[in-house]
Amino acid sequence: MNEPAHPITIYVDADACPVKAEVYRVAERHGVRVVVVSNSFITIPMHARVERVVVGAGMDEADNWIAERAVRGDVVVTSDVPLAARCVKAGADVLGPTGQAFSEAAIGMTLATRNLMDGLRSAGQITGGPRPFAQKDRSAFLGALDNALVRLKRAGFAAS
């Protein structure tokens, strides 16, 4: 007898995530579980498939919690490149808030670029940050999350 398919879970690295409302909306439409992980209390919708996890305030506590649980068939939403690398390595689909998919083929270069830019900022060579989050980013994220969930369902992973 076949084992039941792994239920899809969306893990949200929530402390600075600008697309939490979009995650809730897409997850509801697909009937999948959402786990919102943060270092402090964050308000979430009152829904059986949405869970809040508040971890300790230490460095990378939320990242570690997510990375220890995310597996193939899950989706992780984060802008944290080192966390994305860990989750991609575990087989999870990883999306940034702008809809950028972190892939196994590109994560090494993305991580190297992040480290280079961090070094240049520390040395005072670059003083600007990323461009402001825009409506087109929100739209791209909605499409990317919907596509990821459809693909996972077609691959045999189940809704919650």
Question: What separation in angstroms does the CA of 158 have from each of 13, 66, 79, 124, 153?
Answer: 22, 20, 26, 48, 6
Q: Are 141 and 19 in contact (CB under 8 A)?
A: yes
The C-alpha R_g of the chain, in whole angstroms, comes to: 16
CA 70 – CA 66 distance, rounded (Å): 6
Local structure of 48: helix, strand or coil: coil
CA–CA separation, 85 and 82 (whole Å):
5
Confidence of residue 1 (pLDDT cuts 50, 70, 90): very low
Report the pLDDT value the prediction gives residue 2, as an integer from 0 to 100. Answer: 47
119's CB contacts (< 8 A; 6+ apart) are: none
- More confident position, 11 or 132: 11
Domain ranges in the chain? Answer: 9-154
**Per-residue three-class SS string for 62-127:** HHHHHHCCCCCCCEEECCCHHHHHHHHHCCCEEECCCCCEECCCCHHHHHHHHHHHHHHHHCCCCC
Q: Does the domain at residues 9-154 carry the CATH identifier 3.40.50?
A: yes
Average pLDDT over residues 77-91: 93
Q: Which tens digits make up the pLDDT trace of 88-106?
A: 999 999 999 999 999 876 6
Enter the pTM of the model.
Answer: 0.85
